[in-house]
Amino acid sequence: MTQIAVIGGGIGGLSAAHELAERKFDVTVFEANERLGGKARSIPVEKQGALHGEHGFRFFPAFYRHVVDTMSKIPYGDGTVADNLVETETTMIAGTEGPIRIAETSNPDSIRAWLDAFRPAFSEDIPARDVQFVLERLLYLLTACDDRREGELDDVSWWEFLDAENRSPELRRSLTHATQSLVALRPQVGSARTIGTIYLQLLFGQLDPTTPVERILTGPTSTAWIDPWVQYLEALGVEFETGTPVRRLDCDGGRVTSATLSTGESVEADEFVLAVPVEVAPEFVTPELGRQAPELARIERLETAWMNGIQFFLAEDVGLTRGHQVYADAPWALTSISQRQFWSEYDFETHSPDDVAGVLSVIASDWNTPGILYDRPARDCTREEIAREIWAQLKTHLNANETRLTDDVLVDWFLDPSIVETDDGVENRSPLLINTVGSLRNRPSADPGIENLTLASDYVHTNSDLASMESANEAGRRAANAILGRRHSSPSRARVWELDEPAVFDPFKRQDRFRYRLGLPHPGEVTQSARSLTRRLASIV
């Protein structure tokens, strides 16, 4: 039996182990932490009974195909873990001035709803000329061939592609909170290729009546997903070595011979799957591996940012909306979900203290901008100050027109333990990969050209190319398929889905492929403003 050593027990590593174990491989997963699931895992809160904290809340938009398919294979009660996904209904967009806006996240059921779905970031304030321009830019993307997207649009920021500097303040504001709140992307630095593609996928999901627009879990992540997954993999024969860091890969002649644990013990296997986070991966790329597979050496060029969560435990279940809350004017780019209303499969009364009746889970995406309470960025604050600052920003938004959140409902808070205090503020021991302009060329494939090494993490080049559970799961499947191809031991392969775009645009993409190969611009290039074009020409000269 072929022995597989998976280094890293996050979503990518567990996904690779899943596909390989179902095909009768002998799999052992080595995880540095005591708990499996990586950034997706729940974290017990000791002083709050059996309640859990999170690195950040989980959500599953319609284009998440791989991870939901995996969930549908994990037994849970009389069904599967996929049954623990429930659809959201609305998104709240709150500012510090003006009324709170509520946008439907369910599928459109009227002409008005369909038209509203096309408005960028659900905003009614964006001038009509800017809405038209954005729609033209989206049409540009839909008719651009893959070669142009990778060869040109990956080298242009989403901000520049939408000519944001020359557009209305309302559009710039909308672009910022729309991307930062939904995915780990910043419009000023993220490529037009990646952000535009994901924006379209989110839009298509809202317009497809056959697929839920967005779903979240019916309980804490580990309870509703990770723990049942681990139990299923153990039933398949997968062995887990938690609290067991791997320090290095040992190589000889362009192949991996063993992995050395922190204890000094050497682990041998036929195949090695490297499924560690992007900030850790370069430590495993020896000079020999870098020469053999140059794409491995480029991993260190990928960038990370801070995007971490905090849970506020409340004396009342402050429901807000049945879906996301986006705080449009929050300097720390906050989003939240009021969790308990969705936790139908979780015995909240049994697992929570008597004085806790609700959980507001918040993610902060900007750690570099000064806040409103201490006038310092989050990275320069203590953990206590971070909690107080986020709570203050929430109240400023939610109480702008009527009182929705008060200090007397706050029982306690739990900040991601990856945020560790130092003498100068805090450091983040679990940063998140971000897509930057031109980063596609630094994203390795799952099969980088080493005889018995594959990669399974969200920095691998996947169809979505997004730091997400979906990308990590797809990478795990690609790693498993590479091993299956080498071992010729199973005729079946793990399924990998392409991102769906309407077939009506295919003829235009074929035409653009011909134009791109001739060195001709896309016809939609003329919709860029004269000022933007002048700036580009000036930079060339």
Are both 313 and 408 inside the same structural domain?
yes
Domain contains 509: no
Q: How many CB atoms lie within 10 A of CB 132?
A: 11
Domain contains 364: yes
Tokens representing residue 153 in the block = 């649009």
pTM: 0.92
Judged against a pLDDT cut of 60, whether residue 397 lies above it is answered with: yes
CA diameter of the chain: 69
Judged against a pLDDT cut of 60, whether residue 538 lies above it is answered with: no
Domain contains 527: no
Judged against a pLDDT cut of 70, whether residue 124 lies above it is answered with: no
Question: What confidence score (pLDDT) does residue 242 get?
Answer: 96
Mean pLDDT estimate for the chain: 88
**Tens of pLDDT, residues 38-68:** 999 998 887 656 678 888 888 899 999 999 9
What gap in Å lies between CA 301 and CA 434, rounded to an integer? 11
Judged against a pLDDT cut of 90, whether residue 388 lies above it is answered with: yes
Q: How far apart are the first and last CA of the chain?
A: 61
**Tens of pLDDT, residues 408-437:** 999 999 999 999 999 888 999 999 888 899
Tokens representing residue 373 in the block = 């309470």
**pLDDT band at 120; cut points 50, 70, 90:** very low
Judged against a pLDDT cut of 50, whether residue 529 lies above it is answered with: no
Q: Alpha helix locations (H) across 183-258? A: 192-207, 221, 227-235
Are both 321 and 409 inside the same structural domain?
yes
Question: What confidence score (pLDDT) does residue 121 get?
Answer: 45
Domain contains 536: no
Range 319-345 average pLDDT: 90
Q: Which residues pair with 428 in a beta bridge?
A: 419
Contact 432, 277 (CB under 8 A): no
* DSSP letter (8 states) at residue 340: G
Are both 252 and 185 inside the same structural domain?
no
* Of 300, 280, 276, 302, residue with least CA distance to 290: 300
Higher pLDDT, residue 447 or 528: 447
Percent of the chain beyond pLDDT 70? 91
Contact 242, 228 (CB under 8 A): no
Are both 164 and 49 inside the same structural domain?
no
What gap in Å lies between CA 356 and CA 127, rounded to an integer? 44
Domain contains 515: no
Domain contains 322: yes
Domain contains 393: yes
* DSSP reduced 3-state for 90: strand
Of the CA atoms within 13 Å of residue 481, those in its CB half-sphere come to 15
Range 266-285 average pLDDT: 96
Q: Alpha helix locations (H) across 119-188? A: 128-143, 146-151, 158-161, 169-182
326 backbone dihedrals φ, ψ, rounded to 5°: -115, 125
Amino acid (1-letter code) at residue 27: V
Identify the CATH number of the domain in which residue 452 sits: 3.50.50.60
Are both 353 and 401 inside the same structural domain?
yes
**pLDDT band at 534; cut points 50, 70, 90:** very low
Range 279-308 average pLDDT: 93
Are both 216 and 84 inside the same structural domain?
yes
Judged against a pLDDT cut of 90, whether residue 174 lies above it is answered with: no
Are both 174 and 70 inside the same structural domain?
no
What gap in Å lies between CA 474 and CA 494, rounded to an integer? 9
Are both 149 and 1 inside the same structural domain?
no
Are both 115 and 199 inside the same structural domain?
yes
Q: Which of 169-183, 198-212, 363-377 has the lowest mean pLDDT?
A: 169-183
Identify the CATH number of the domain in which residue 88 sits: 3.90.660.10
Are both 61 and 124 inside the same structural domain?
no
What gap in Å lies between CA 388 and CA 410, rounded to an integer? 11
Higher pLDDT, residue 199 or 285: 285
Range 386-415 average pLDDT: 94
How many separate domains does the chain show?
3
Range 159-188 average pLDDT: 79
Secondary structure, 3-state, 428-487: ECCCEEECCCCHHHHCCCCCCCCCCEEECCCCCCCCCCCCCHHHHHHHHHHHHHHHHHHH
Percent of the chain beyond pLDDT 90? 64
Note down the domain range covering 393.
39-104+212-221+307-430
Are both 129 and 172 inside the same structural domain?
yes
Domain contains 186: yes
Contact 113, 347 (CB under 8 A): no
Are both 270 and 367 inside the same structural domain?
no
**pLDDT band at 389; cut points 50, 70, 90:** very high
* DSSP reduced 3-state for 302: coil
